[in-house]
């Protein structure tokens, strides 16, 4: 009966049990390793650690440390540093800075020098190696001219003559020489008081020129200078001339002259560029000036001759 009475006592009389207030929420981290034990808060006993896995053999070529512990005594650390790296001296900090590379702007293509040349200059440049080879050989050269001359002077009556001249010599790329033979025929009156006239001149002399430098593309322009010595045939308008002297009348004969003087000639024309021929051939005009500074045996005042004609060039 007593026990029943104790049970029948209402709970408020005995006093209700204190209500437990909620405490701070504890977040349990999820284990990252499946083999690691979970440590829960409030647990009196820690989970038994699992035995570490046996170390694997180092790969071939990987340095090992003989003093490192083996077996279960080696600490299972993946951050272990090889001993040879610990012993090595630290590398000096690099002072090289990375250069900033930028793509350079494209340069304009160089202009072709041939674009600035005139057609004649381009032809001359194209033919230059053929006219003037690098080995610079000496070649035979011939220049023949047929000319007409007007002669005159301060003390001469003057006259007109025609003739032919030929240069025979040798040429190189920038120089040439020749011996020039000239024959003139006509009538050039001398001093009127003497009644003499020069009807022929035969001369010879040295000549220098431009050589093969005179060849320009499809044509030639040849400048030559020289000096001539002539033998002048002088005739009288009558076979004899009468000279009045105190003791009577005497007969005198005409004296031949030996004129001499410098010469300048310019030949220009067109070339024949036939590759089957050994030499180049050209035909054109010839202009010149011949001075007669006097005669070696006297009797000829200074005179000059202006010449023009046709020319043939071979070389």
Three-class secondary structure of residue 127 per DSSP: helix
Tens-place pLDDT, residues 81-135: 555 555 555 555 555 555 455 666 666 555 555 567 787 777 777 788 888 888 9
Q: 171 — phi, psi (to 5°)?
A: -125, 150
pLDDT for residue 201:
95
Please tell me the distance from the alpha carbon of residue 3 to that of residue 236, in angstroms, as a whole number: 198
Is 265 part of a structural domain of the chain? yes
Q: How confident is the model at residue 306 (pLDDT cuts 50, 70, 90)?
A: very high
Please tell me the distance from the alpha carbon of residue 264 to that of residue 304, in angstroms, as a whole number: 12
Is 29 part of a structural domain of the chain? no
Question: How many helices, marked H, and strands, marked E, lie in the chain?
Answer: 4, 12
Is 79 part of a structural domain of the chain? no
Is 194 part of a structural domain of the chain? yes
pLDDT for residue 158:
82
How many domains does the chain fold into? 1
Element (H, E) at 101: none
Q: Which residues contact 96 (CB under 8 A, 6 or more apart)?
A: none
Is 60 part of a structural domain of the chain? no
pLDDT for residue 44:
46
Residue 77 has pLDDT above 80, yes or no: no
Three-class secondary structure of residue 121 per DSSP: helix
- The tokens describing 263, both together, are 């010469």
Kindly state the percentage of the chain with pLDDT values over 90.
35
Task: Supply the range of the domain harboring residue 261.
Answer: 139-314
Residue with token string 């009558």: 238
Is 37 part of a structural domain of the chain? no
Please tell me the distance from the alpha carbon of residue 144 to that of residue 255, in angstroms, as a whole number: 31
Residue 295 has pLDDT above 80, yes or no: yes
Is 297 part of a structural domain of the chain? yes
**CATH number for the domain harbouring residue 260:** 2.40.160
Please tell me the distance from the alpha carbon of residue 257 to that of residue 300, in angstroms, as a whole number: 7
Is 119 part of a structural domain of the chain? no
pLDDT for residue 264:
97
Please tell me the distance from the alpha carbon of residue 265 to that of residue 225, in angstroms, as a whole number: 6
- The tokens describing 223, both together, are 């400048």
Q: What is the mean pLDDT of residues 65-69?
A: 48
């Amino acid at each position: 009966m007593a026990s029943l009475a104790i049970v029948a006592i209402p709970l408020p009389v005995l006093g209700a049990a204190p209500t437990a207030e909620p405490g701070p929420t504890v977040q349990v981290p999820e284990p990252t390793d499946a083999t690691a034990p979970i440590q829960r808060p409030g647990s009196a006993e820690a989970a038994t650690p699992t035995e570490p896995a046996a170390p694997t053999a180092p790969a071939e070529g990987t340095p090992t440390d003989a003093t490192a512990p083996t077996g279960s005594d080696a600490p299972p650390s993946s951050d272990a540093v090889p001993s040879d790296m610990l012993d090595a001296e630290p590398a000096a900090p690099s002072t090289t800075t990375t250069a900033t590379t930028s793509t350079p702007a494209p340069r304009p293509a160089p202009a072709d020098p041939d674009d600035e040349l005139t057609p004649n200059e381009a032809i001359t440049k194209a033919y230059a190696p053929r006219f003037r080879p690098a080995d610079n050989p000496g070649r035979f050269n011939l220049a023949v001219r047929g000319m007409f001359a007007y002669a005159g002077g301060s003390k001469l009556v003057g006259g007109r003559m025609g003739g032919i001249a030929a240069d025979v010599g040798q040429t190189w790329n920038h120089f040439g020489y020749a011996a020039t033979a000239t024959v003139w025929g006509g009538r050039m009156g001398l001093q009127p008081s003497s009644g003499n006239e020069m009807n022929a001149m035969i001369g010879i002399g040295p000549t220098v020129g431009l050589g093969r430098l005179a060849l320009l593309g499809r044509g030639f322009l040849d400048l030559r200078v020289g000096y001539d010595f002539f033998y002048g045939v002088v005739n009288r308008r009558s076979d004899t001339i009468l000279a009045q002297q105190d003791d009577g009348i005497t007969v005198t004969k005409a004296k031949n002259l030996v004129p001499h003087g410098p010469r300048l000639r310019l030949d220009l024309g067109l070339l024949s560029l036939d590759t089957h021929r050994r030499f180049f051939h050209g035909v054109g005009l010839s202009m010149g000036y011949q001075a007669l500074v006097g005669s070696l045996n006297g009797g000829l005042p200074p005179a000059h001759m202006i010449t023009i004609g046709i020319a043939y060039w071979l070389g």
